[in-house]
Amino acid sequence: MTYKTQMEAARKGIVTPQMEIVAKKEHMPIETLMERLAKGTVIIPANINHKSLDPEGVGEGTRTKINVNLGISKDCNNFDVEMEKVNKAIEMKAEAIMDLSSYGKTREFRQTLVEKSTAMIGTVPIYDAVGFYDKELKDITKDEFLKVVRTHAEDGVDFMTIHAGLNRATAERFKKNSRLTNIVSRGGSLLYAWMELNNKENPFYEYYDELLDICREYDVTLSLGDACRPGSIADSTDASQIEELIVLGELTKRAWEKDVQVMIEGPGHMAINEIAANMILEKRLCHGAPFYVLGPIVTDVAPGYDHITSAIGGAIAASNGADFLCYVTPAEHLRLPNLDDMKEGIIASKIAAHAGDIAKGIPNARDWDNKMSKARQELNWEGMFQLAMDPEKARRYRAESMPENEDSCTMCGKMCSMRNMNKIMEGKDLNILRD
C-alpha cells in the first residue's frame, strides 16, 4: 500500500516511521495516535523532502509544542546572525522554527535551514512573493502565488501559513465592524490589500483545491492563518475573528477530504477571561483540528515584556486545549529580536506550554516537577541544575551569591525550611545560631 500524507497512511492502517517516533515520544499507543491522525485531531508535520527532521506530533493528547519565529528582513538581513538563532533554537529544543524571511536570499536561507534543522519548519509564502518576483504586490497573479507555495514545498517546508479564510465575505464583515487596530496579521493585510487593489477574490480561497494538491504532493501541513486575529484586547472575539473562524472550519473539512493535514491559527491579543471560551470555539467550529496560538497577549501596555504577557495567555490557552504556542519575545512590537530576546521568548513559551500540559494531564508531565521537588527537598543543587528548564541561568544565579553553608542559599541561610525540616525529620539538632 502507498500513501501521500501521514493522514492518508493512518486512514489506510499504515504505520509510518514518523508515527513510531511520535508515539514513543508522547507515551501514546500507536493505535491511538493513528486514530487521531485519521480524524485530524493530531498532525505530524513532515514534508517528504525534510530529511533531517525529528518528527513531532501536535494535537489531542500530545505535549504542547512551541514555535520560534526568525528570518531575514530588509532592515536586518544578516544571514549569519539569523542562522545563529537557528542553532540556539535547536539547542534549546524548540519543536518548530518559522522562517519569516521577506528580503534577499530567502531561498538560500530556507534551504540551509531545512537541511540542518531537526525541528519542523514553517513559512508564510506570501511574505516571500514580493521579493521572489521583484514586483509590486498588486501585480502578482494567482499562478505566481501558487508557484511560491510549490517552491516552499519543494524545499522541504513542513507547514505553511496560508490566510485562505479571508475571503470577500469576511472582508465585507470587517468593513462593517470597525476595529481599533484593523488587520494586524502581516500576511492577512497583504492579501486584503491585494483583494482591494484588484477587486478580486482571495486567490488562496478561490483556488483552494490547487493549494491542497500541492500540500498533498509533499505532505505539507496547512496552517490556516488567522488574518483577522485581534491585534488589541479591544478587538478580540469580534465579528471579523469569528466570521473567519467559521470559514476556516469549512476549509478544514475540505482539506481532510484530500488527506491534507491541518492546524488552525488563533489569537492574538485577548483579555484573560476570553481565552478559555476561544479555545472551545476553535475546537468546536474547526472540528477538533489542532490549535496554534500567538500568545495570547493578555494586555497591550507592556512593550519590552510581551514574553511575559504572552506566557500568561499561553499557559491559560494550553490548559484549555491549545496545542501549539508561537513564542513571543521581549522585542515584540518594537524590533526584530536578537539572540538574547529569542532565548527569553523560548523559555517563557516553554514555561507556558509545560504549565498547560500539567493542567491537561499529559502523561509524565508532572514527573519533571516531582523530580525537581525531590532535588530541592534533598538540597541537591547539581540535581536541580540538571532538571532546570534553563540550567545555565540557574547555575549563574547560584554562583553569583554563594552562602556560608552549602546546604542553604543566601535568601534564608540556616533558616532554610528544607534544611531544617530534613534535620528535624532525621532527629538532628538545628544549630541555627551556632557554627
Q: Grid coordinates standing for 83?
A: 542562522
Please indicate if the annotation marks 416 as binding a ligand: yes
Closest CA to 119 of 92, 95, 155: 95
Is 90 exceeded by the pLDDT of residue 408? no
Alpha carbons 186 and 203: distance in angstroms, whole number: 17
Please indicate if the annotation marks 94 as binding a ligand: no
Q: pLDDT tens digits, residue range 107-135?
A: 999 999 999 999 999 999 999 998 888 88
What's the start-to-end Cα distance of the chain, in Å?
75
- 329 pLDDT band, cuts 50/70/90, is very high
Report the percent of the chain where pLDDT is more than 90.
90
Residue 259 near residue 7 (C-beta atoms within 8 A): yes
Please indicate if the annotation marks 395 as binding a ligand: no
- 434 pLDDT band, cuts 50/70/90, is confident
Please indicate if the annotation marks 102 as binding a ligand: no
Least confident of 10-19, 36-45, 160-169, 419-428: 419-428
Q: pLDDT tens digits, residue range 20-66?
A: 999 999 999 999 999 999 999 999 999 999 999 999 999 999 999 99
pLDDT the model gives residue 404 = 85
Closest CA to 194 of 145, 251, 125, 238: 145
Please indicate if the annotation marks 98 as binding a ligand: yes
Residue 316 near residue 330 (C-beta atoms within 8 A): no
The separation between CA 207 and the C-alpha centre of its own chain, rounded to angstroms, equals 27
Domains and CATH numbers, the chain: 6-360 (3.20.20.540), 366-425 (no CATH)
Please indicate if the annotation marks 187 as binding a ligand: yes
Is 90 exceeded by the pLDDT of residue 161? yes
Please indicate if the annotation marks 284 as binding a ligand: no
From the number of C-beta atoms within 10 Å of its C-beta (0-12, 13-18, 19+), residue 388 rates as middle
Phi, psi of 333 (to 5 degrees): 75, 0
Please indicate if the annotation marks 108 as binding a ligand: no
Please indicate if the annotation marks 186 as binding a ligand: yes
Please indicate if the annotation marks 163 as binding a ligand: yes
Average pLDDT over residues 193-206: 98
The amino acid sitting at 27 is H
Please enumerate in sequence order all residues whose Cβ is within 8 A of that of 294, keeping only pairs 6 or more positions apart, or say none.
229, 265, 266, 267, 268, 310, 326, 328
pLDDT the model gives residue 435 = 65
Please indicate if the annotation marks 333 as binding a ligand: yes
Q: pLDDT tens digits, residue range 338-380?
A: 999 999 999 999 999 999 999 999 999 999 999 999 999 999 9
Please indicate if the annotation marks 229 as binding a ligand: yes
Please indicate if the annotation marks 226 as binding a ligand: yes
Alpha carbons 58 and 66: distance in angstroms, whole number: 10
Q: pLDDT tens digits, residue range 3-31?
A: 999 999 999 999 999 999 999 999 999 99
Q: Grid coordinates standing for 293?
A: 496560538
Please indicate if the annotation marks 185 as binding a ligand: yes
Look up the pTM and report it. 0.95
The amino acid sitting at 234 is A
